[in-house]
A = this chain, B = another copy of it.
Amino acid sequence: MTPRTKEKFEEIRESKRRKIIDSAIECFATKGYHAVSISELAAHAGVSKGLMYNYFSSKDELLKTIFNETMDQMLELFDPDSKGLNEKNDLLMYLERYYHHLKSNLILWKMYMAIFSQPAVQQILQKEILEVSQKPLEIIGNYFKKEGFKHPEVEVAFLSTLFSGVLTEYISDPDHYPLEQIMKRILSIYS
């Protein structure tokens, strides 16, 4: 009997890795980082405790991995073609994208909030957070400058504020928050 091929092994690894990550995202979203134990994560993913450490060297490491993957998605969301925002329409589409992403990735954003608003977790991810949050803000800032806003940096902060607010409110009660109408209300400010 021949041993499994390298490809087969990598296949197994990758699919299990995904399973663990997706499962962990759900758990973290539901209960928060500290409130979920490795045992729970393992059980929820349908693997043994020990196997978790075959894929991630620690609980923190798993968190960082999830964070990085999530951040990559977010970056893509906020600037998919890396061209920046050039006209008003781009900004509107920007808002559109945010709206759709929020709606179709509720769990991901829930996890984002559940995890990253915890001070203890922020300490774990401090470095990563700083690195990632800079770029999207810059892109938006450049747009406002170009458009001749009087206080572009304040306008950026204001938009961030709106994003944060929408996120917070929608996440905390997705069934009742009038997401679409709120997005329209925001659009009305910039139209």
Residues of A within 8 A of B (CB): 29-32, 34-35, 110, 113-114, 117-122, 151, 153-155, 157-158, 160-166, 168-169, 172, 177-178, 181-182, 185, 189
Contacts and interface: CB of A to CB of B under 8 A. Distances in A.
Contact of A114 (B29, B118, B151, B164): B118
Contacts of A34: 32, 34-35, 118, 120
B166 A154 contact: no
Contacts of A118: 32, 34-35, 114, 117-118
Nearest to A154: B181
Contacts of A154: 178, 181-182, 185
A161 to B, nearest CB: 4
Contacts of A113: 117
Contacts of A155: 185
7 tightest Cβ-Cβ pairs between the two chains A and B: A165-B165, A117-B117, A34-B34, A35-B120, A161-B165, A164-B168, A164-B165
A38 to B, nearest CB: 14
Nearest to A118: B32
Contact of A162 (B110, B161, B172): B161
A164 B163 CA distance: 10
28 contacts: A31-B119, A31-B120, A32-B34, A32-B118, A32-B121, A34-B34, A34-B35, A34-B120, A114-B117, A117-B118, A117-B168, A122-B172, A151-B181, A153-B178, A154-B185, A157-B178, A157-B181, A160-B165, A161-B162, A161-B165, A161-B166, A161-B168, A161-B169, A161-B182, A164-B164, A164-B165, A165-B166, A189-B189
A137 to B, nearest CB: 11
